[in-house]
Copies of this chain bind each other. A is one copy, B any other.
């Protein structure tokens, strides 16, 4: 007989750069998104959910990040049209703002949360699909809109579990920077390349320190590995003006504003920027947002080229240990600013817009690092199966538990090996197992095994303090719910 050649089996693997999220990971993110949506909603923002797929034409072909202009999207041809997965939530907003411009309220406040896709080389902790969580106001030119976004960002951080004092929203204004550059003799179209280098140099202050930035403003900088990065070629005098700007932060907002006003003296755009910062500070103060939550910080510039006015960044101010156990600042978890050519490429009309994007995964990581995510045993109570013929009785028990709001399930594997059932309960992180065989049914009783207590006993070598508390006991069947609730309430 001829052998039929078998197809090789497919590999059970996620594509490179993609990952799966299980149980608590999903639940914690969902919970965080729900909390964030609650704040956004309270601020009058409306939800918008666009599809994952857009035409390449509507999306624009390139990511907005100037450092990687050619990094791409996942795209394919379909019916003579090129389609692609969205790479952020701003490009679809631009399309929506243009498509529905006659129907949407103006200003249009919208929030959006969902995955975006980047066709980039994956790396450790760097995935090709990740969540974004944005809020933008389209059609409002007033900096009141920017102030509102900053206030909302501050509220959001507190609502998701970052207490006041553990974060700061830092605000700056691109017009101030432009004014400073004008004063330094770097205005004009022929200086665009230099301005770009200055922008990115300031953005690296955290990492390189003042001397590193100064080097990048001048001839350039050689890093520890010997690689040389070409600088902006500024004279010492010019560089000093920029460094003065970076270090213009004073003890309070008023003093910082005064210092900035000195620095941009003679530049109209600079004066406009300082006035905008001042207005934002006033509005925020009136809303109860003082400098312990939102402060003016001239060192914030945001690397992206497209911002045109206020820029802001939320930073967590506590230290965490990195992979090697060294303390480091947790750093930025959100950022945004004003950008004014959102809809223009579709309609030709300039529409002002401002918005923020929160890095949900970073924020979750921060809460994990601070031990602020719920770690109670959230597994279900497992009703074990001693007697296969009594499955209806076991189902009755779990139904009763579920109706009482207790997460519960009956063991559905092969019940032959009882040890496997307890191992299963362990793997599920169960707080308790319920055990009932013929004897218990005859006596109208059930056994409860307290697995939280069991885990405590296993952790603590000295059994002394536990010995009076049995981790397994019998209760009358009709006290099953009450007893389990006692165990569940006692945990944590």
Q: Interface on A for B, CB 8 Å cutoff?
A: 9-16, 18-23, 25-27, 30, 34, 37, 41-44, 46-55, 57-58, 60, 74-76, 78-79, 81, 83, 85, 95-96, 98-100, 105-107, 109, 115, 117, 119, 128-129, 137, 139-140, 142, 144-145, 147-148, 151, 155, 279, 282-288, 345-348, 379-380, 382, 391-393, 395-396, 398-399, 402-403, 405-410, 412-413, 424, 427-428
Contact = CB atoms under 8 A, between A and B. Distances in A.
A140 B346 CA distance: 54
A14 B286 contact: no
B283 A392 contact: yes
Contacts of A105: 424, 427-428
B424 A54 contact: no
Contacts of A347: 9, 12
B107 A412 contact: yes
A52 B14 contact: no
A11 to B, nearest CB: 6
Contacts of A117: 52-53
B286 A44 contact: no
Contacts of A348: 9
Contact of A145 (B16, B107, B412): B412
A159 to B, nearest CB: 11
A140 to B, nearest CB: 4
Contacts of A95: 12-14
A53 B144 contact: no
Contacts of A30: 34, 37, 47
A291 to B, nearest CB: 16
A83 B98 CA distance: 31
Given A105-B424, A129-B52, A283 B395 contact: yes
Which 5 A/B pairs are nearest by Cβ-Cβ distance?
A44-B409, A76-B76, A12-B98, A286-B392, A26-B47
A12 B347 CA distance: 9
A interface SS class? mixed
A420 to B, nearest CB: 9
Contacts of A46: 22-23
Contacts of A410: 144, 148
Contact of A20 (B48, B83, B148, B285): B48
Nearest to A112: B26
26 contacts: A10-B55, A12-B347, A15-B53, A15-B54, A20-B96, A20-B100, A21-B47, A22-B46, A22-B48, A27-B47, A30-B47, A43-B402, A44-B379, A44-B409, A52-B115, A53-B129, A75-B76, A76-B76, A139-B413, A140-B412, A142-B391, A144-B391, A144-B410, A144-B412, A283-B392, A286-B392
Given A22-B47, A106-B424, A78 B119 contact: yes
Nearest to A287: B399
Contact of A51 (B20, B22, B409): B20
A407 B111 CA distance: 15
Contacts of A48: 20-23, 26
A155 B47 CA distance: 28
Contacts of A54: 14-15
Nearest to A392: B286
A42 B137 contact: no
A283 to B, nearest CB: 5
A393 B12 CA distance: 60
Contacts of A100: 20
Given A74-B76, A144-B412, A345 B52 contact: no
Contacts of A128: 53
Contacts of A76: 74-76
Contacts of A9: 345-348
Given A117-B52, A392-B286, A109 B409 contact: yes
B407 A44 contact: yes
Given A22-B47, A106-B424, A286 B52 contact: no
Contacts of A85: 52-53
A402 B163 CA distance: 18
Nearest to A288: B399
Contacts of A15: 51, 53-55, 78, 81, 83
B21 A49 contact: yes
Nearest to A388: B142
B345 A10 contact: yes
